[in-house]
Chains A and B, each alone.
Chain A
Amino acid sequence: MDRLLFGDNQFFGVNHMSEEKARAQAMRFQSLDAIMSVLDAAHGAGVTTFMCTTHDRIADVADRVRADPARYGKQTFYPCMPYAHKYANAMADAGMFGAIKQFLQDEGFLDAAMRSGKSFARKDIEGIITLLVDAEMKMFQGLRTPVVFLQNVVVDFLLGMGFTEAFRIFAQHVATRYDAEPGFITMNMPRLLDALNSVGIENPIVCSNINKIGFRMSGGIDSYLDALNNRKFRAVAMSVFASGAIAPEEAIEWVTSLPNIESIVFGASSRANIEATAGLVEKYWAARS
């Protein structure tokens, strides 16, 4: 994995500080050209991995990249699935199975499966998970996706229930079908490491909030630092600026001083901010080795 990965929250009206700012960003990135110009700026700054949700609009980005292989030869995608709000809103509207059904292309499969009732439940949870993964991966066909992440809302929901078998199914399917490494995004990193180890996923790629003020590092910042020091996993740090609550230089200096951080994922809306972050990471990462 590259040291720096480019995130996509800014494109879809996700901002953990301000709804007003989030809406302004959603308006600004209404056009695909506006998104592409920021991605191009990241590309220009050497940040060629795009860690993105499987939002409908990413399909348009994928189309652009596919259409211009000369320009985007180095472009890599780390899909993060699913884009949970479309499921959550649909679940309130249509119920859990209605929502799954709505998002599965092959409705015939699920209808048949629902009819077979309990045998379906007993035998083929694996079938549902892998079908959902395939539906989300469709937009990335023909593109480089060496790591595929499961989003935190799903990871942490399964983790809380103790539904750890799903992690194994996801990891196995991503590896065999897409020749990719599985990644897991979480707000409960130390606990997730235990769960992944318990189903035989060794040295996992785990992305979690890692920031100086401990924002959304559940279980406490000390338990995270302990995991970074003592556990075997490949850490990706997100929310290193804690949504802007920490000054950029202070944030990067702190996070690069930690052991075992393999990558940092960050979002930005301007060339200047992308280059500034890339410059800071360059400076402090060099200092650490």
Chain B
Amino acid sequence: MVNVAVIGLGKMGLSHFSIINAHHDVKVVGVCDSSGYVLDILGKYTGVDTYGDMGKMLDAADVQAAVISTPSKFHAPMVRTCLERGIHVFCEKPFCLDPADSVQFARLAGQKGLVTQVGYHNRHVGTFRELKRILDSGALGRVTHVLAEAYGPVVLKPKGSTWRSKKEEGGGALYDYAAHPVDLLTWYFGRPDAVSGTVLGQVFSAETEDEVFTTLKWPSGLSGQLSVSWSDESQRKMTTRISVWGTNGKIYADRQELQVYLRDAASAPDGYGPGWTVRYTTELTDEVDFYVRGEEYSAQLDTWVKRIGGQSVAGAADFAEAAITDEVLYAIANGADAGVHTVAVGTGAAVVRPAAPTSFGARLRERLRSLAARAKR
């Protein structure tokens, strides 16, 4: 039995509370939020112990593990407090807004033997997991290009502001939406070494981006493109898609379906022949013990709880892996200036290499700009 606390009771926090509270190997020993209203209702109707302050909860309750699903800017201080107290942590995505924190916490958790995980639930979607298995088998040959997309209907009109609409608090389509396909990319292919051609477009929001488009390059020569919008009303809900091209074929995956085309299936896993093979989520999804809103949400928490039980410190989407995703997000966030940005390892500092001007006019404008910048300094 693991004693778990749930910190932050917004949309994701309540969902996590419901799922983990139903877990046979978990006892929820406290929930914590700044909204007294939500706490009063939960306390009264579910009987859970409620706290308005995380520190008080950690002092009062015997917490072995914590689910943190507060607005993104609070992740770093709360994760630090939990790790320092020797508490295993499941943190909602994105992990930390400053990748230097991410790297530091990954190290700290490793030193203390704590089991960590970030809420990248797509890693527990049957089709995306199968895509990983096929890529790892090498069946696609040399992978040349990947397109990662996410679209959904979140911001469809100009509106009042919440933390999700404030960039400095980790709001915006980059951290809220693009984080998912970016994490799939780093899971599949590791850390890219550069991002370029970034567009952070505004459709309706005043303070943050609604669209993210960028080009990624990996050391292997693999190129990737990211195309994300949370202002796409044609989607019923968030839709994530991955298309991968290789010398031996192509793979397309979304939450429901995996379509694989192979020229030569000699090195493919069982069940994949030459030409098209289509597999569906109905056959690729493992059953969960308790279902609220998609197997992947249950599976990710179950995985974390089982890892705690087995003291399995390294695991999928642990802090060390999530830190790589944070580094890429950081490079994209700071890269909307047409420059080529190196994805820095471990430090979070993105190095900007200005794009080389191509025409005489452009070179002249560039020269004038740099002179002006120097004059300002």
Contact = CB atoms under 8 A, between A and B. Distances in A.
* A-B complex: 8 closest residue pairs judged by Cβ atoms: A160-B18, A187-B291, A121-B40, A218-B291, A160-B22, A245-B282, A162-B46, A156-B292
Given A19-B257, A118-B37, 20 more contacts: A12-B236, A16-B282, A17-B257, A85-B236, A93-B159, A94-B160, A118-B40, A121-B40, A122-B44, A125-B44, A153-B293, A157-B18, A160-B290, A160-B292, A161-B17, A162-B21, A188-B22, A219-B290, A245-B280, A245-B282
Interface stretch (B7-15, B72-80, B218-226, B329-337): B7-15
B26 to A, nearest CB: 11
Interface string B40-52: 1110111110000
A89 B290 contact: no
Interface of B: 10-11, 14-15, 17-19, 21-22, 36-38, 40-42, 44-48, 152-155, 159-160, 162, 164, 176, 236-237, 239, 254-257, 280-283, 285, 287-293, 295, 298
A15 B37 contact: no
Nearest to B230: A92
**Max chain B CB contacts within 10 Å: which of A20, A89, A125?**
A89
A234 interface: no
Nearest to B154: A92
Given A121-B40, A161-B18, A161-B42, A213 B282 contact: yes
B10 A96 contact: yes
A18 B46 CA distance: 37
A160 B254 CA distance: 27
Nearest to A220: B287
Contacts of B283: 245
Contact of B290 (A12, A97, A122, A218): A218
Given A15-B256, A166-B45, A191-B290, A94 B162 contact: yes
A250 B270 CA distance: 27
A204 B10 CA distance: 31
Given A18-B256, A92-B154, A245-B282, A218 B287 contact: yes
B11 A163 contact: no
**Max chain A CB contacts within 10 Å: which of B38, B155, B257?**
B257
Interface of A: 12-20, 22, 26, 85, 88-89, 91-98, 114, 117-118, 120-122, 125, 153, 156-163, 165-166, 187-188, 191, 213-220, 242-243, 245
Contacts of A188: 22, 290-291
Nearest to A95: B162
Nearest to B44: A122
B46 A121 contact: no
**Max chain B CB contacts within 10 Å: which of A97, A161, A215, A243?**
A161
Contacts of B291: 156, 187-188, 216, 218
A120 B44 CA distance: 12
B198 to A, nearest CB: 24
30 contacts: A12-B236, A15-B256, A19-B239, A19-B257, A88-B237, A89-B237, A95-B10, A118-B40, A121-B36, A122-B44, A125-B44, A156-B290, A156-B292, A157-B293, A160-B18, A161-B18, A161-B21, A163-B42, A165-B45, A166-B45, A188-B22, A213-B282, A217-B287, A218-B288, A218-B290, A219-B290, A220-B287, A243-B280, A245-B280, A245-B282
B291 to A, nearest CB: 4
A96 to B, nearest CB: 7
Nearest to B165: A93
A118 B36 contact: yes
Contacts of B10: 95-96
A156 B36 CA distance: 24
Contacts of A20: 257
A105 to B, nearest CB: 20
A137 to B, nearest CB: 23
A157 B292 contact: yes
B243 to A, nearest CB: 13
A16 B282 CA distance: 8
Contacts of A121: 36-37, 40-41, 44
Contacts of A15: 256
A213 B254 CA distance: 22
Given A157-B292, A245-B283, A19 B41 contact: no
B124 to A, nearest CB: 15
Contact of A17 (B48, B281, B295): B281
Given A94-B159, A160-B292, A214 B164 contact: no
A88 B235 CA distance: 13
